[in-house]
Structure 1
Amino acid sequence: MTKSHTQNLSVNHYICGDDTPFPKFASAVRKAGMTSVGVTRAAIYEMGIKDLARCLNDEGLGVSSLNSAGYFTLGDPNPVQYSNQEMVEFAAELSADVLCVITGGLGTPSILLGDAHKIVEEGFSELAEYAASAGISLGLEPIYPADILTKGCINSCAHGLKIVEPYGNAKLILDLYHSWWDPDLPRLLRDQLDKIALLQICNPRFENGLAVGREPLLSGGLDRVELQKIVTQPNYSGKWELEIFNRDLKGSDPVTIVNQFPDEFHRCEES
């Protein structure tokens, strides 16, 4: 992989467990030739925003995404609690490319889908206005339909586009785990790259026809031909952010996965 292409790659901090300090993760990303990371609430809680920003600056790393704001329907389920306003302020302090927005699910027992959509539209409008005042871009992430109760009630690319369309500071974050199934994904990648703030990638792991976890690019259920169609987008100039959760690693060393990512991405391109 060329140096310039490697610099378009990023890794999300979600790959780390409690036993991998953020500075170790950041150093691994930099040593692998990449120039940005996805930052999580856990990283802010671990280091504090000032020391986190200093660490990133010392490693020469930008922030491809800050994760996450939103959670409009059910309230914030994260163990580390920050308000949406605080997340916008953190995004500004870190000069993040985009602040990821997770809409929230329907719950159990569930609220009506139409009511949930209205709550999301109103909440997103308010957040977009506040983010615009701080110069922050939002990335709405459509969520895999199987997670509609627990994580997100905006599930298709088309619906996500409809929500972000009125706002000049809002686009989509497309996560391959959540959107691999969407029939509009190829068209969006071909014709509407200007609507995509970030592409988050992994290879979904499937059981009984459902995506149930995340794997490195060469390990999951999508074959290389399918992956090649996604990662070979000549007109896409944004970041490719590997997003795998620590629970998906099953004991594997996150630093090893970080080190392997550029080569695996390159091999997918050439499949």
Structure 2
Amino acid sequence: MTDILERFSFNHATAKFWDQREAIDACARTGSAIGLWREPVAEQGLASTAEYLQDAGVPVTSLCRAGFFTDPTPEAIEDNKRAIDETAALGAPTLVLVSGPIPEAGTIDSAREGVKEALSLLAPYAIEQGVTLAIEPLHPMFASDRCVVTTLAEALDLAAPFAPEAVGVVIDTYHLWWDPEVWNGITRAGAEGRIASFQLADWITPLPAGVLTGRGQLGDGCIDMRRYLDAVDATGFTGKIEVELFNDALWARPGQEVFDETRAAFEGVLTKAARA
């Protein structure tokens, strides 16, 4: 195994319908890490999943996802606290937060204020549990129905009132590639110690009808992966790098086949970066 492959983390969503334990087994065979999702963990049981991971010796890079608290009701806050507990139980350092949509009775401004309020309620609990909340900015096309946080700068501003170990950010190439200010944001995130998760996915053109499931395999799209890798590494970040692909065509294929292809694409992209 190369040093590059030692940084590979396979986000389970890349093979969404593959049995979680089979995905963990594949990671164990190859010395890879894994990113998990709450729903499959719940299906197989939190304690059972944690035990299986420990026995397999597979580290968890993140748990997806919590958030959806633009209208921070007590129920939303309690669900996020449960997600923090689940993250800690799995031994994962990071809980990924997708902020949520514009509430039915609100505006994008009120939604963003709701995110601030929710973070202030959750950050102290996250510190107690040893979990970092990772704000993930999504592409602006998702602002109305999924995530009102759309730039890395905005995510960093939201994180700024809290300690870096409590609130960090996700750098996801699929969502940030379009932003000319992202390079300054990556530098800032590194200087502030807030890079909690680094995720790769490519942008393919034309996008399929279901844009949510249109992420391309690494190297198949237009994103300058090498520049992202170099920029993040330049901050001193040496952590695992997740590949998280939402793609209907991939989901229709056998999980092991998708895993092998994704791992090979990851090695190709990062080896190219390392030799540049």
What TM-score range do you get, normalising by the shorter chain? 0.7 to 0.9
Query: Does residue 1:268 correspond to 2:269, yes or no?
Result: yes
Matches within 5 A, 1:203-218: 203-207=202-206, 212=211, 213-218=214-219
**Equivalence for 2:111:** 116
- Which residues of structure 2 form unaligned runs of 5+? none
How far apart are residue 191 of structure 1 and its match? 5.1
Matches within 5 A, 1:108-257: 111-168=106-163, 169-190=166-187, 192-193=189-190, 194-207=193-206, 212=211, 213-222=214-223, 226-232=224-230, 233-234=233-234, 235-245=236-246, 247-249=248-250, 251-257=252-258
Q: Tell me: CA distance 1:250–1:139, structure 2 relative to 1, closer, same or farther (3 Å).
A: closer
**Equivalences, count:** 259
- 2:72–2:114 Cα contact (<8 Å) kept: no
- Which residues of structure 1 form unaligned runs of 5+? 77-81
Within 2, Cα distance between the matches of 1:249 and 1:85?
A: 32
- 1:32–1:262 Cα contact (<8 Å) kept: no
- TM-score, structure 1 as length reference: 0.87
How far apart are residue 33 of structure 1 and its match? 3.1
How far apart are residue 121 of structure 1 and its match? 0.4
How far apart are residue 96 of structure 1 and its match? 0.7
**Equivalence for 2:31:** 33
Q: Tell me: CA distance 1:171–1:161, structure 2 relative to 1, closer, same or farther (3 Å).
A: same
How far apart are residue 261 of structure 1 and its match? 2.8
How far apart are residue 254 of structure 1 and its match? 2.9
How far apart are residue 201 of structure 1 and its match? 0.6
**Equivalence for 2:98:** 102
The RMSD of aligned alpha carbons is 2.4
- Pick which of 114-123 and 127-136 moved more: 127-136
**Equivalent position amino acid for 2:167 in 1:** A
Within 2, Cα distance between the matches of 1:211 and 1:246?
A: 9
Corresponding residue to 1:24 among 13, 22, 38 = 22
- 2:202–2:215 Cα contact (<8 Å) kept: yes
